[in-house]
Structure 1
Amino acid sequence: MHQGEAFDVAVIGGGPAGATAANDLARRGLSVLLLDKAGRIKPCGGAIPPKLVDDFGIPDHLLCARIRGARIVSPKNRSVDMPIDGGYVGMVDRDVFDEWLRARAAANGAERVSGTFERLEHGEDGLATIHYRAKGSTPDAPSRTVRARAVIGADGANSAVARQCVPGAERVPFVFAYHEIIRTPAAGSASYDPLRCDVYYNGALSPDFYSWIFPHGPTMSVGTGTARKGFPLKGAVQELRALTGLDGTETIRREGAPIPLKPLKRWDDGRSVLLAGDAAGVVAPASGEGIYYAMLGGRFAADAVEEFCRTGDSRALATARRRFMRLHGPVFWILGIMQRYWYGSDERRERFVSICRDRDVQTLTWDAYMNKELVKARPLAHVRIFFKNLAHLTGIVPA
């Protein structure tokens, strides 16, 4: 690649959102640069729904496990099993999964570059100049540049593109997540099931979110998250590992990062820059699920940028957020209310886990997760859940 070379689109960040956008655009014949920090792995449980597998053409070999249910554990160590009837949750290793997405984009025509975004400038010719530092360059080496008609900022929760280009991006709330990838112990040596995700709602492990143990075949993700600054995340994970008999297993790596839990009110700069993925804040509250929403946001960003490149009308950029919020805004709103209320105290967490015993709740939860939409086909079940929630909220039924 030549210094100052021009592309139709520069995608900053090669996670699920950026790699998906780059792949879609390259397949449609646009010239695409994919700039990514090589080697970084995001802390993530790695869960993906069947809808993602189908919609984005994910091959079976990337699934390191197919989960058939979840176990929800309360502060008093009471547990509820939530089996999945007729479906599954796929588990992926982010280092393998993300790299496969980037490689697919390159195979379809995107040009990959390893480096760190530094700044962006708009030229009088309508092109943006992107300054970046190439991987492996010396500290005194000059920045390199490329130019592009449009830029997709998919560079994570602390997006430098968002902070520079989109007003309000610095005010998004975060959960700070930390996990440890450990070797899966021998069968019977610890409390786990290779086909089950374990989720812990316990204020000692997370004061406002949850902790998890997610099996990945030969490895496991053990983690926790919180928005409370100063909370000892590493200590909480060590406590969880000790509680479940996983403290003696080999630790392969440790990772931590902020995770946004509220979509930004604006994703574009009104000129030629559009955000996607964590940079746009599209991680679901309460659950922390982000891979599916990142990839869908990347696809919508690609559609909007293609329209912008075709017409030159910057108003096309705003369609990405409108489409996403029309589909998933109600779900994010409901999950946000759930997180603020049910995760507010251990007493409420106990009641929340009790609600999860209900088969209507379990069925609708899994249907919504696997199909990625609010389930409207069972109105009587929704009515029953409403009154059961009301009973728990008022204390009519015991936790």
Structure 2
Amino acid sequence: MTESESVDVVVVGGGPAGATAATDLARAGHRVMLLERGGRIKPCGGAIPPVAMTEFDLPESILVARIRSARMFSPSDRRVDMPIEGGYVGMVDRESFDPWLRQRAQEAGARVCTGTYQRLERQGDGVTVIYKDADGQERQVHGRVVVGADGANSQVARHEVAGADRIPQVAAYHEIINAPAADSGAEYDPQRCDVYYRGSLSPDFYAWVFPHGDKVSVGVGSAHKGFSLKGAVDELKRSAGLDGCEVIRREGAPLPLYPMKRWDNGRDVLLAGDAAGVVAPSSGEGIYYALLGGRLAAGAVEAFLATGDAKALRQARKRFMKAHGQVFWILGIMQRFWYSSDKRRERFVAICRDKDVQELTWQAYMYKKLVRAKPMAHMRIFFKDMGHLLGLSRV
């Protein structure tokens, strides 16, 4: 093993959470190593809400598409269009988006290193990260604190934070295909996201067709073991008229669905992004929450470096849950109830026809806040939902 180098912070994982944490810490003047495994692209629909563009200073050039509406498909093939009034949802391709974030971290002063995390060791002050470089040689780097941003199956989390091996997960799989020609007859619009709520495509989640410019992400998620994700994607491509499109790449990975009860080890490790479980239930949205998790992790680490008090690491989760815990709780209930059968999926899609539901849904999604300014709209939605729950409303 080579002689250890020393930094203030080691960030394990170079996705949106890790790269954002590394950027913020490096800009604050700290010595940062960002350890990225490389050679892997996360399966991801790629949606970015407008608030993320401003909060995290993302350039318009990073977007591969701008979405102006969504179309929901019910089990009976009922179609509900949800236009975005006065705005759009951006789309990114993780193949180019993640490297751009790592490049920004490097330009901020972080050292970006390709390597595979192995374990942590402690001797005296701080913590040593053992990793293997691109040649398979074992190396080490010493820091005062480690940020574990190495994904849903985070090894840092499993080694350091209790309960990390028990987070509920959805298996996600998608194929990136060439976009169909305009005259192909496919069920496709380059400015529309299509979301399919059908038990045949996913018994407990949903399937999607998301535009990526000249490419398309066609994917599905499910927590049911034995369910064929690839078979579901093949069925979806046939149903949408996309089965003749060339497949560019195939990717699969787990998605955590609930934030962990604790994100730090009480000593010198803090989790961020998927490693902390911050993917929204029901929607599976993760990019915005990963970016935010990385920023909150950086703030907590800064406080720890300034005071030496490990309690400062708890700030990241407290701040995240204060801002978004209620939304995650509501989305979790929605997923468990509405995705449990095709009968309920049919009613869920029917609810989405309502203009009040559409307006409040888009406002909450695009700006990441529960909309409280329209109490009468909330009241109308409540009574309509009760009608659907009790079977009194027509589907």
Question: For the residues of structure 1 that align with 2:187 and 2:299, how far apart are their CA atoms?
Answer: 46
Aligned partner of 1:187 in structure 2 is 182
Aligned partner of 1:342 in structure 2 is 338
What is the SS of the residue equivalent to 2:220?
strand
Match of 1:306 among 299, 302, 306: 302
Question: For the residues of structure 1 that align with 2:102 and 2:280, how far apart are their CA atoms?
Answer: 24
Query: Could you list the per-position Cα deviations for residues 349-392 of structure 1 after superposition, in whole angstroms to 9, with x for gaps in the alignment?
Result: 00000000000000000000000011111111001100000000
Query: Could you list the per-position Cα deviations for residues 64-116 of structure 1 after superposition, in whole angstroms to 9, with x for gaps in the alignment?
Result: 11100100000000100000001110000101000000000000100011010
Question: For the residues of structure 1 that align with 2:3 and 2:264, how far apart are their CA atoms?
Answer: 26
Q: CA deviation at 1:136?
A: 2.9
What is the SS of the residue equivalent to 2:39?
coil
Query: Could you list the per-position Cα deviations for residues 256-304 of structure 1 after superposition, in whole angstroms to 9, with x for gaps in the alignment?
Result: 0000000000000000100000000000000000000000010000000
Q: Return the letter of the residue paired with 1:327.
A: A
User: How do 1:343-362 residues align onto structure 2 when only pairs under 5 Å count?
Assistant: 343-362=339-358
Query: Could you list the per-position Cα deviations for residues 304-352 of structure 1 after superposition, in whole angstroms to 9, with x for gaps in the alignment?
Result: 0011011100000000000000000000000000000000000000000
User: How do 1:286-301 residues align onto structure 2 when only pairs under 5 Å count?
Assistant: 286-301=282-297
Q: Return the letter of the residue paired with 2:118.
A: E
Aligned partner of 2:240 in structure 1 is 244
Q: CA deviation at 1:20?
A: 0.1
User: How do 1:323-342 residues align onto structure 2 when only pairs under 5 Å count?
Assistant: 323-342=319-338
Q: CA deviation at 1:61?
A: 0.9
Question: For the residues of structure 2 that align with 1:149 and 1:313, how far apart are their CA atoms?
Answer: 12
User: How do 1:1-399 residues align onto structure 2 when only pairs under 5 Å count?
Assistant: 3-124=3-124, 126-137=125-136, 141=137, 143-189=138-184, 190-399=186-395
Question: For the residues of structure 1 that align with 2:148 and 2:205, how far apart are their CA atoms?
Answer: 27
What is the SS of the residue equivalent to 1:396?
coil
Scaled by the length of structure 2, what TM-score is found?
A: 0.99
Question: For the residues of structure 2 that align with 1:311 and 1:397, how far apart are their CA atoms?
Answer: 58
Question: For the residues of structure 2 that align with 1:229 and 1:87, how far apart are their CA atoms?
Answer: 38
Question: For the residues of structure 2 that align with 1:188 and 1:379, how far apart are their CA atoms?
Answer: 45
Question: For the residues of structure 2 that align with 1:312 and 1:74, how far apart are their CA atoms?
Answer: 54
Once the two structures are aligned, what percentage of the paired residues are identical? 65
Q: CA deviation at 1:3?
A: 3.2
Scaled by the length of structure 1, what TM-score is found?
A: 0.98
Q: Return the letter of the residue paired with 2:305.
A: C
The number of residues matched between the two structures is 393
Question: For the residues of structure 1 that align with 2:135 and 2:62, how far apart are their CA atoms?
Answer: 29
* Unaligned segments of structure 1, at least 5 residues: none
Question: For the residues of structure 1 that align with 2:199 and 2:110, how far apart are their CA atoms?
Answer: 45
Shift >4 Å, 4+ stretches: none
Question: For the residues of structure 1 that align with 2:291 and 2:264, how far apart are their CA atoms?
Answer: 17
Q: Return the letter of the residue paired with 1:30.
A: H
Q: CA deviation at 1:122?
A: 2.1
What is the SS of the residue equivalent to 2:7?
strand
Q: Return the letter of the residue paired with 2:169.
A: F
What is the SS of the residue equivalent to 2:385?
helix
Q: Return the letter of the residue paired with 1:178.
A: Y
Q: CA deviation at 1:123?
A: 2.1
Q: Return the letter of the residue paired with 2:154.
A: S
- CA RMSD, 1 decimal: 0.7
Question: For the residues of structure 1 that align with 2:345 and 2:180, how far apart are their CA atoms?
Answer: 29
What is the SS of the residue equivalent to 2:144?
strand
Q: CA deviation at 1:209?
A: 0.2
Question: For the residues of structure 2 that align with 1:188 and 1:156, how far apart are their CA atoms?
Answer: 40
Q: Return the letter of the residue paired with 1:257.
A: A
